[in-house]
Amino acid sequence: MAGPAAGPAGPPVVAVSGVSKRYGATVALRDVTLEIRAGEVFGLVGANGAGKSTLIKVLSGVTRPTTGELRLRGRRLDLAGPLDARNAGIETVHQNIDDGVVFGVSVAENLTLDALARRGPGRFVTRARTRAAARAIAAAAGLDVPLDAPVETLPASLRQRIVLARALARRPELLILDEPTSTLSAAETETLLAAVRRMAADGIAVLYVSHRMSEIRELCDRVAVLRDGVIRETFTAPVDPARVVAAMLGDDLAARAAAVPGGGAATGPVRFAAEGVRTRPGAEPFGLTVRAGEILGVTGLVGAGKTELLEQLYGVRPLVSGRLLLDGEPYRPRDPRHAISAGVALVAEERAAQAMVPTWSVRAHVTLPHLAAHSRLGLLRRRSEARAAARVIGLFGVRGPGPDAPIEALSGGNQQKVVVGRWLEGEVRLLLLDEPFRGVDVGARADIGRVLRERAGRTAVIVASSDPQEVLDLADRVLVLHDGALAGELRAAEATAERLAALMAGRREPVEAR
């Protein structure tokens, strides 16, 4: 697998000098200074809330810095908005996938949005021309996708690749990629990394923002660490992930994040059992059990069947086949309401689209699944809601403006703490988490894992992730799915990321006795 170049030799493309950004009394960035050179992949890492998103907004013209300046190839930039940044040659692919696509139109039209936006007198857009242009953009990015399909019918990973393909087609001076692989499989990730390397080889400057240390190590020539709005340290390849994490979190938090809480043998009673279930019609059936106090990991490539399995257990989609038992009693959820009433909860894969209500407060999100417990005579009891929100904030160490702030005011990792924590406010027998650490830094991941471990008690937990290391860091046992079927089962204490990766690729192992 290719790694970063020996070292960038090109001149600075972008220079950030003394940039600070204040929101009232809050300092989001403080005197940030850095240069990104031609042909360089420059990594930017930091815990949630460190200031990464604010710096991206400054560079992409979404917000103006309070002090400091930006220069592009020596020319001072005064960006009044994202269009100014794009016209200057700065392209940004944001973390939220659907910010970059237009629902209700085809894949081809999404790939050629720039041409449609530039249409002027004498320019006629026809379906044939749109398809031809889209086909060329897709081919250049190695993207095999149905051009006539409505974009909303595609999975999140393909929508992400459409946004990336369109950005690559613009040939920017600076390409900003914010968590670009968060929805991609291992193979898709490698395709993207190869494309980024080719762009860097062509002289394009790339700012690469990611929580995944493996990508940072493989791809980046230099890495800057943001903490509390300040550049704490800059590393040059080859990058030592342990040193990067220490700089991100500080020594105490780094040690906490490195702790592996799982790997033990659960001794509680079997809380949940599935017999003869299928992730999809035609797939090979399999079974699983989870004990009280146990965390079961489920991993596999994107499309392996993880989400399908969890959604059947939660009643989002009908059970394909088999039999479910909850505390020894038959359980077959008709819908999510039925599942919740039975004590089954799901933290969905796409937090923004599936688990959050825009503009609602942190307090409202905490109590949303438990309105009856916070109501009297049909009226919500605000003090009861406030106490519940305070418990979740304290338990998970949620950082933000407070319980009455809108959920959007929190960083991604703190949003996820709220989304997970609200289920622990109720009596949950089976907690299902689908990709719970997507876009979440190692500190927030450690906080969530610690609380899940401490509060498991009578609860059985199933965590699904396409990142085998995330599963190993938390689970007691691991199921590996491949193409909708069970490829193997391992005790986490005996598993390795390499062994899991082989199973994810389709190599079968005998299933161990549970």
Picking from 98, 102, 121, 119, the residue whose alpha carbon sits closest to that of residue 110 is 102
Looking at residue 60, what is its pLDDT? 93
Looking at residue 432, what is its pLDDT? 96
Write out the H or E segment, with its range, that includes residue 205: strand 205-209
Looking at residue 3, what is its pLDDT? 58
Provide CATH code, domain 266-343+428-509: 3.40.50.300
pTM, rounded to two decimals:
0.61
Write out the H or E segment, with its range, that includes residue 418: helix 412-421
Looking at residue 274, what is its pLDDT? 96
Phi, psi of 458 (to 5 degrees): -85, -5
CATH topology of domain 1-89+172-258: Rossmann fold (3.40.50)
Question: What average pLDDT is seen over the chain?
Answer: 84
Q: In what order do the strands lie in the sheet with 270-277?
A: 286-291, 270-277, 323-326, 329-330
Looking at residue 424, what is its pLDDT? 84
For the chain, percent of residues with pLDDT exceeding 90: 36
Phi, psi of 230 (to 5 degrees): -120, 140
**Torsion sign, CA atoms 137, 139, 142, 144:** positive
Q: Model confidence over 236-288: pLDDT tens digits?
A: 999 887 788 778 766 544 444 445 455 555 668 999 999 999 998 888 999 99
Domain parsing of the chain, residue ranges? 1-89+172-258, 102-170, 266-343+428-509, 353-426
Please check whether residue 357 is in contact with residue 364, taking contact to mean a CB–CB distance below 8 angstroms.
yes
| Residue 278, token pair as written in the block | 């299928």
Low-confidence ranges of the chain (pLDDT < 70): 1-10, 48-49, 115-125, 183, 185-186, 249-267, 302, 439, 456, 497, 505, 508-514
| Residue 64, token pair as written in the block | 């103006």
